[in-house]
């Protein structure tokens, strides 16, 4: 795979993961506001926060990795 293609895939994957973390956070807030009784709010918050953090960290890592590859290519 060419470097440009790999860089573009990394950037888009990073953006996608960051968008997913925002959507998960929004869904988490909506569920807590609606106070659905069948779900344990504490467990929901714990699992939701872990998922948001993991997807955001993966998105940041992929974006950082694409920038690192871009800088290596220029040198």
**Bigger pLDDT: 14 vs 67:** 14
In a domain, 5, yes or no: no
Measured CA to CA, the distance from residue 24 to residue 22 in angstroms comes to 6
In a domain, 51, yes or no: yes
In a domain, 7, yes or no: no
Number of domains observed in the structure of the chain: 1
pLDDT in tens, 13-64: 999 999 999 999 998 888 888 876 666 778 888 898 999 999 999 999 999 9
Predicted pLDDT at 1: 66
pLDDT in tens, 23-35: 999 988 888 888 7
In a domain, 19, yes or no: yes
The domain in which residue 39 lies consists of 13-68
Give the distance from CA 2 to its chain's centroid.
25
Helix segments in 1-75, DSSP class H: 3-34, 41-74
CA distances from 25 to 16, 46, 55, 57, 60 (A): 14, 12, 11, 14, 16
In a domain, 8, yes or no: no
What residues contact 6, with CB distance under 8 A and at least 6 apart? Answer: 69
In a domain, 6, yes or no: no
């Amino acid at each position: 795979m060419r470097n440009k293609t790999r860089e573009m895939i990394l950037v888009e994957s990073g953006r996608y993961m960051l968008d997913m973390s925002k959507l998960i956070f929004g869904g988490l807030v909506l569920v807590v506001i609606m106070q659905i009784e069948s779900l344990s709010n504490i467990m929901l918050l714990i699992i939701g926060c872990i998922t948001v953090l993991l997807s955001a960290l993966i998105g940041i890592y992929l974006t950082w990795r694409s920038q690192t590859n871009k800088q290596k290519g220029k040198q």
